[in-house]
Amino acid sequence: MAPSRSTKSKYKRTPRPKDVSPQKEEESMSKTKRREMDNGILEVFPKLDEVPPGIASQFEEMIRCYLQTKSKTPTLDIFRVFKHVGQVYDDEGKLVCLCKASRDAKKEAAVYILDHPLSAHRSVSSELTGFGGATPTVFIRTEEASGCLVWFVENNNGVIGDHKHYQFSTLPEGISKLSIFHLRFGCADSHNRNTVTKIDAQKYKLRRVWWDQSKEAKEAYTNQVVAYVNNLDTDEDLAFLKRCGWEVPREISIPYKIFTFFVKKGVEFNLTAAHMVVIAQNAHRSPAFNLLNMLADQRLEDDIFVQKSHEKIEARLRQYSERFL
């Protein structure tokens, strides 16, 4: 049985002098930073007071650097050949994050805060990097435009990829984590040089992925991955997004519930990432085992549709496991 997810943060705060209240010190620092951020920022998602302190501090620093960079260079320097992506620098002129103009920016920020670390749900964990390797991403809206700030990571060997040489290099153990990450969110806007995705699913069909033919995709998931998947809770996730300032529309929340349940049952019935990709892409040679054909009548009310779809998915995946594994 998978371990239950902790409801309290496992991270301890650094001791402070006895004559300073930790709460007052934190509130004072937060107010100071937020006064600096007030200039021109109309909306931030997630709300900084709804995420753990470590995450809020990271977002505050990213926004501060953005405002500082904009004050010096109103038109941000373009990141390489990507005209919709600008560069944000710190006090020393070092590239710290990218500003991505996109109508789907809020979706990308949602994926980051739902990429829970192994230790706990994102709502209680200040660990910056989650299970799937998504880097800190925060949505901002100004009078000029809206977009997301994405923390810049130069990494030759990790899940995030090697930005410097335009060469994606994922460690073998990262494939299984990345597969869960992509299957949960529908893998929109992701390719072999960009693991960033957005919480989106078009017609219940997984987008093309680059890792499905890898050796690791055909191997059984580890106990660590299984435990992580078992702890996923879409109702908790959607409630968290709402607290953070986004009432997720049904065209996103319903597919998210379907894909997450599909992943949980796939792992339960010992399917590999390669098996689940074929099913989720509706590419199996037996149409009955394609995800789209596991769904209930989409004209049903949402709750009934989800319940009936869950029942069909479970039954079909059980059959798949008995027939093909």
189 lies in the same domain as 244: yes
For range 156-176, the mean pLDDT: 47
Residues of the chain with pLDDT > 70, as a percent, come to: 77
Residue with the bigger pLDDT between 213 and 236: it is 236
Alpha-carbon span 104 to 74, nearest angstrom: 23
277 lies in the same domain as 176: yes
Alpha-carbon span 45 to 91, nearest angstrom: 24
How sure is the predictor about 165, in pLDDT bands with cuts at 50, 70 and 90? very low
What type of residue sits at position 229? V
Is the pLDDT score of 187 beyond 90?
no
pLDDT per position as a tens digit, 5-33? 333 333 333 333 344 454 544 554 455 45
Does a structural domain hold residue 181? yes
Does a structural domain hold residue 14? no
Q: Order of strands, edge to edge, in the sheet holding 146-151?
A: 41-45, 137-142, 146-151, 95-101, 82-89, 78-79
The tally of domains found in the chain comes to: 2
Residues of the chain with pLDDT > 90, as a percent, come to: 62
pLDDT per position as a tens digit, 192-227? 444 444 555 556 888 777 788 889 999 999 999 999
Mean pLDDT score of the chain, rounded to an integer? 82
Q: State CA 268 to chain mean position distance.
A: 22
Please calculate the CA angle 107-258-219 and round it to the nearest 5 degrees.
95
Is the pLDDT score of 141 beyond 70?
yes
178 lies in the same domain as 272: yes
210 lies in the same domain as 146: no
- SS3 assignment, position 234: helix
- Secondary element (H or E) of residue 276: helix 273-280
pLDDT (0 to 100) of residue 185: 85
Alpha-carbon span 203 to 90, nearest angstrom: 41
194 lies in the same domain as 306: yes
Range scoring the smallest mean pLDDT among 44-53, 70-79, 152-161, 244-253: 152-161
190 lies in the same domain as 291: yes
192 lies in the same domain as 97: no
Domain boundary among 117, 151, 185: 151
180 lies in the same domain as 320: yes
Is the pLDDT score of 246 beyond 90?
yes
pLDDT (0 to 100) of residue 102: 83
How is residue 295 written in tokens?
């769904």
244 lies in the same domain as 106: no
Domain boundary among 87, 116, 151: 151
pLDDT per position as a tens digit, 250-290? 988 999 999 999 999 999 999 999 999 999 999 999 999 99
310 lies in the same domain as 187: yes
Q: How far, CA to CA in Å, does 166 sit from each of 81, 160, 169?
A: 12, 11, 10
Q: 285-296: buried (b, 16+ CB within 10 Å) or exposed (e) per residue?
A: eeeebbbeebbb
pLDDT (0 to 100) of residue 10: 35
Domain boundary among 151, 183, 205: 151
